[in-house]
Structure 1
Amino acid sequence: MESKKKFSLMSAILSVICVVFVAEAAAPVAAIGNSQFFWWVFLLITFLLPYGLISSELGTTYIGDGGIYDWVTKAFGHRWGARVSWYYWINFPLWLASLAVMTPELIHTMTGIEISTPVAIIIELIFTWLIVWISFFPVSDSIWILNGAAIIKMVLALLVGGLGVYVALTKGIANEFTPQSMLPTFDLRSLSFISVIIFNLLGFEVICTFSDQMENPKKQIPQSIIVAGLVIAAIYIFSAFGISVAIPTDQISTGSGMIDSFKLLTGSTDGWFIILMAFLFLLTLFGNMISWSLGVNNTACYAAENDDMPSFFKKRSKKNQMPIGASLMNGIVASIVIIMAPFLPNQDLFWAFFSLNLVMFLLSYVPVFPAFYRLRQIDPDVQRPFKVSGKPAFLKVLVILPMIMIIISLIFTAVPLDFSPDALTEKLPITIGAIIFILFGEAIIKIKHIKKEK
């Protein structure tokens, strides 16, 4: 029997970077202005630190394909596990659609060819189904993609940060940098972007679903989370600083991406450098989606096998046991969203889809933190290779702080707090979409549990 390929520690670290580091979210964060630096430091302490510690303990204690679904189910039962698996899964095809709508513009940047709406839809569908096809194969077969995408992401982030510093030194600083300007304004606009920073810090638990392909998961999971977390934090702050010192905040929008930042920094919309950056950025989108699909599909399939997701999700490949049912459903849902997009009100489609995926994604994490504390109480004797040390009061702080951050983010991202026509046009589709997906998930859970009770 052929032995499975195994992750090395370096591959595990690069995979975490590939999963967690989201290059396309750099510009929306920069749109906050200088107060983003306060939020970066604040959320690194109040969110990333407790989240990393909790993920390391749970990921090394409860190893398997279930990930956060398994943790929440063990702590609070199948109904809450089902909710988590649904929110965790549905975010992915929405995110996939949000990135797919970026690909025609990237191809236009690389080729200079004007792309019509029908051709753009075809390109977006090709992007979607190529991701689906690659996810039919084991993660160990895609190590080179994940590692390559992680390296390219870091290169792009360092380039945009370094180029920004160079432009600031040679042409002057674009925004006023004073202690006052770096303090948070607490206005609705900046607070709604906090969710993007939190999104940029999520995903460490995905590496836990790769445990059966690691050389030594009980050591590699916490090591990769700690090392990758430090690297990611440093790169995020450096790239954000480069964009902020060189590009006026009013020139950055939620729909801007890293390529827009390169165009603004170089003062050019074409040329070999912009074409190369667009190509490399496109590769990172593939890497991001592939790495996430592997973790999300494993979790959804595992939940289906425990009768907490629709039966279609439990379908596995006879050849390699990969969860092809969940992967096919990713493609179907993302394709529906892509085809519907041209008929939606004229708005920033990337931000609309991205925000909706953001809401569902954040919802899936709300029960994870109290699950950590409850498992300490109801399952105290299980061996914990990595155990967060501290008294109960400290552990409660670790649980409460990130939960508060997520709930605040959800409110400012999904709830209309400004009733002006423009604000409602932007926010209401996100609110309505989130409600629809939540109710749909509750209906699935009710049906599945009625069948269980019978």
Structure 2
Amino acid sequence: MEGKKKFSLFSAVLSVICVVFVAEAAAPVAAIGNSQFFWWLFLLLAFLLPYGLISSELGTAYIGDGGIYDWVTKAFGHRWGARVSWYYWINFPLWLASLAVMTPGLMETITGFKLAPWAGIAIELVFIWLIIWISFYPVSDSIWILNGAAVIKMLLALLVGGLGLYVAFTKGMANDMSFSSLLPSFDLNSLSYVSVIIFNLLGFEVICTFAGDMENPKKQIPQSIIAAGLVIAAIYIFSAFGIGVAIPVHKISTSSGMMDSFKLLTGTGTGWFIIAMAFLFLLTLFGNMISWSLGVNNTASYAAENGDMPKFFARRSKSKDMPVGAAVANGLVASLVVVLAPILPNQDLFWAFFSLNLVMFLLSYVPVFPAFYRLRKIDPDTPRPFKVGGKDGFLKLMVILPMILIVISLIFTALPLAFDAETLTAKLPITIGSLIFIGLGELIILVKKIKD
């Protein structure tokens, strides 16, 4: 359309940062302890590097709204495309619900008022449907939100990292920082949280679904992925180091890590600084959900248009041509989850919903890596403006290593590998929920009789 707003390279880089950098996931990673630094460095090389290169090649070779659904469908057929689109979509309302349950606590910090349970649920629903409403409009209309959220995320991460270093230098190290403490820990607790680091490194392919809003997508996609990947890696490690040297591991909460970090580092839960940080953190949650909704909704709608998702997901607005069906479905599922949350067993609701979101999200990526290799073999003639170099053995390594890491993460996140009461209470809901959502996906395939 003539006169339509377009992404600049700078906006594309900030959008990738907004999508990929996840401030609210800082706490579960910090809960690993000092071995988190090993896992960050290892996964940056073993996962982020091959994933970023593969996303750049596929995203510039197969430009369109389908994203990873398109790649997997072209490689393995519609059944696998349907599975990927389902896992990719269902993770979003679960993630939206996990962030919604954080909002009442943030509002209490900002306002200083204790909220009644009904008021907390009302705020959660407002958060959900405000995200849905904004997602009815094109990404280029929301570029100021994405850019602003990216800048705020980086500011918060740099603040918590810098404040952590200041506290460590003035008051001493909070944790043992000997060489042995930095070595990887392979206990069940630590390995359960490694999946969060992988989650923190996913999302580059979302920028590929914004191709229609870019000035030059074939150049901007790989440039934005590479530039943003380097910035994100540096910020993650800096903020993680700041938290790790200043806050005892046992004090880190999985439910509100960034805000808990600021409160512990400053020694207070009130005051203008904490209120400002809570407000900025709330804005980042909006930015994260808006950026992801635009990519997820486009993918789900595209899959529905190709017969691989329910027809409702294919509904688009007449005025803006936006995937309103997928957006409304997000709102309905997320709303149902937060309304039912009070009757669930007493537990960390953020981590429960977030873990289930993690499982579904990671499942959607399992076929992406072999799809890259297969498309090289069966579709060599498609132009690849950005092409991963290397011999066949190197390409296989880039496919196999990330896949193995995802599968291991899935096992440790979803399955109760110990059978004590505490582990079963925490893990069984995630296992059961994962099986239910996987079953629903297979039911959709069966009912729609999707054929390759």
Deviation at 1:307, TM superposition (A): 0.3
Quote the residue 1:360 is aligned against. 360
How many residues matched? Answer: 452
Give the residue type in structure 1 aligned to 2:81. Answer: G
- Report deviation, 1:116: 1.1
Q: After superposition, give the CA deviation of every residue in 1:339-369 in whole Å (9 maximum; x if it has no partner).
A: 0000000000000000000000000000000
What is the TM-score normalised by the length of structure 2?
0.99
Give the match for residue 236 of structure 1. Answer: 236
- Letter in structure 2 aligned against 1:395: L
CA contact (8 A) 1:95 1:354 kept: yes
Could you tell me which residue of structure 2 aligns to residue 142 of structure 1? 142
Note if contact 1:29-1:197 (Cα within 8 Å) is conserved in structure 2. yes
Q: Which amino acid aligns with 1:104?
A: P
Question: 1:275 is matched with which residue?
Answer: 275
Report the equivalent of 1:123. Answer: 123
Q: Which runs of 5+ in 1 are unaligned?
A: none
Counterparts in 2 of 1:241-390, with a 5 A limit? 241-390=241-390
Quote the Cα distance in structure 1 between the aligned partners of 2:185 and 2:150: 33
Structure 2 counterpart of 1:428: 428
Residues 262-298 of structure 1: CA distance to partner in whole angstroms, max 9, x if unpaired? 0000000000000000000000000000000000000
* Contact 2:253–2:260 (Cα < 8 Å) also in 1: no
Contact 1:175/1:245 (8 A) holds in 2: yes
1:399 and 2:399 matched? yes
What is the CA distance between 1:4 and its match in structure 2? 1.3
Once residues 124 and 38 of structure 2 are traced to their aligned partners in structure 1, the CA distance between those partners, rounded to angstroms, is 36
Alpha-carbon distance in structure 2 between the residues aligned to 1:256 and 1:412: 22
- Residue 253 of structure 1: CA displacement? 2.6
Contact 1:64 / 1:212 at 8 angstroms: preserved in 2? Answer: yes
Q: Distance in 1 between matches of 2:441 and 2:10?
A: 37
One-letter amino acid matched to 1:165 = L
1:329 Cα deviation after fit: 0.2
CA distance in 2, matches of 1:220, 1:154: 21
1:9-24 to 2 correspondence within 5 Å? 9-24=9-24
Amino acid at match of 1:53: L
Does the 8 Å contact 2:38/2:182 carry over to 1?
yes
Task: Give the conservation status (yes or no) of the 8 Å contact 2:312–2:325.
Answer: yes
In structure 1, C-alpha distance between the alignment counterparts of 2:185 and 2:69, rounded to whole Å: 36
Alignment of 1:41-190 (within 5 A): 41-190=41-190
What residue in structure 2 maps to residue 217 of structure 1?
217
Q: Which amino acid aligns with 2:313?
A: F
Distance 1:335 1:107 in 2: 19
Which one-letter code corresponds to 2:234 in the other structure?
A: A
Q: Which runs of 5+ in 2 are unaligned?
A: none
What SS does structure 2 have at the residue aligned with 1:180? helix
CA–CA separation in structure 2 for the residues paired with 1:106 and 1:152: 16
- Asked if structure 1 preserves the Cα contact closer than 8 Å seen for 2:102 and 2:256, the reply is no
User: Equivalent pairs: percent with the same residue?
Assistant: 79
- Distance in 2 between the 1:134 and 1:172 partners? 45
Assess if the C-alpha contact under 8 Å between 1:28 and 1:256 holds in 2. Answer: no
Distance in 1 between the 2:362 and 2:62 partners?
22
Which amino acid is the alignment partner of residue 74 of structure 1?
A: K
The answer to whether the 8 Å contact 1:315/1:326 transfers is yes
- TM-score, structure 1 normalization: 0.99
> What SS does the aligned partner of 2:182 have?
coil
Post-superposition offset of 1:178 = 1.0
Residue 114 of structure 2 aligns with an amino acid whose one-letter code is E
Deviation readout 1:2-22 (Å, 9 max, x if unpaired): 421100000000000000000
Bigger drift between 370-379 and 107-116 goes to 107-116
SS in 2 for 1:193: helix
Deviation at 1:256, TM superposition (A): 3.3
Superposed CA deviations along residues 64-113 of structure 1, whole A, max 9, x for unmatched, are 00000000000000000000000000000000000000000000001110
* Residue identity opposite 1:438 in structure 2: I
Q: Give the letter for the 2:190 counterpart.
A: S
C-alpha displacement at 1:259, in angstroms?
0.7
Distance 1:170 1:12 in 2: 39
CA RMSD of aligned residues (A): 0.8
> Structure 2: how far apart are the matches of 1:324 and 1:204?
23
Q: Secondary structure at the match of 2:150?
A: helix
- Structure 2: distance between partners of 1:188 and 1:27: 17
Equivalent residues of 1:104, 1:123 under 8 A apart? yes
